[in-house]
Homo-oligomer: A and B are copies of this chain.
Amino acid sequence: MSSTPATPTVGRPRDAALDANVLRAAMELLGEGGIAAVTMDAVAQRAGAGKASLYRRWKSKDELLADALTLHSPIDVEVDTGTLRGDLVKLYEHYYGIGNHVMQAAMQEMLGNVRQHLAWTEKVAPERLTARRAKVRALFERAVARGEIAPPADIDLLLDLVPAMVLYRYNTRNQKVSRASIARFVDAAVLPLAGLAAREARP
């Protein structure tokens, strides 16, 4: 995930704070003005950086945006609510930045525009989404282990259902992701397909 290659020992060292500054600036612009507002000049200016510093760290705008998205959608979160449903909802809420409005808008906008940033599909998604998928997969395995569900027939599909619906509803009906929409996708699609009636307790 890191953008910084082998650091040489001579010369001025790179400003570590700059990376975060730039990515934050990019996410802000994304959240404020949509994808159209995210130009490299604008990002550099807001970050108080030069464009060369951006391109020294990222090969292209695509990769910068990919990293920005990645940075602000951490995967290292531990959820253990005791039920598959609780775990799934909590993890997805975390992934979509529910509770942080700017980040949520930026995340959604980013996901919706992902195809025009091919680097994302080709490089970041495999790295990042694979890790996320592994996390979700672990939730299912834990549920199997504790006897909550039987091993699902087509788990690969189950792992994509929620993000697919979130993306589709946004791209076609401009529907923003929310705690409620996540819960609904889980209850009405994921759990039934996992052989679990959606009659559990709601938090």
Which residues of A are in contact with B by a Cβ distance under 8 Å?
A: 34-35, 109, 112-116, 118, 121-122, 125-126, 129, 153-154, 157, 160-161, 163-165, 167-174, 184-185, 188-189, 192-193
A63 → B minimal CB distance (Å): 15
What are the residues of chain B within 8 A of A116 when measuring CB–CB? 35, 113, 116
* Copies of this chain in its oligomeric complex: 4
In the complex the two chains form, is B189's CB within 8 Å of A153's CB? no
Q: Would you call A172 and B122 a contact (CB within 8 A)? A: no
Least CB distance from A15 to B in Å reads 18
Give bound CA distance, A164 to B189, whole Å. Answer: 13
Known A-B contacts A35-B116, A189-B193; the reply to A160 vs B168 at CB < 8 A is yes
Q: Is the CB of A121 within 8 A of B168?
A: no
Q: Tell me whether A167 and B174 are in contact (CB under 8 A).
A: no
Distance between A105 CB and nearest chain B CB, rounded to angstroms: 13
Given contacts A114-B172, A171-B167, contact A157 B125 (CB under 8 A): no
| Known contacts A116-B113, A192-B192, A157 near B185 by CB under 8 Å | yes
A29 nearest CB across to chain B (Å): 15
Cross-chain contact B115 with A170 (CB below 8 angstroms): yes
Residues on B with C-beta less than 8 A from A109 are 115
A112 to B113, CA, bound (A): 8
In the bound complex, how far is the Cα of B167 from the Cα of A163, in angstroms?
Answer: 11
In the assembled complex, the Cα of A122 lies from the Cα of B173 at a distance in Å of 8
Q: Closest Cβ of chain B: how far from A48's Cβ, in Å?
A: 14
The residue on B at minimum CB distance from A152 is B188
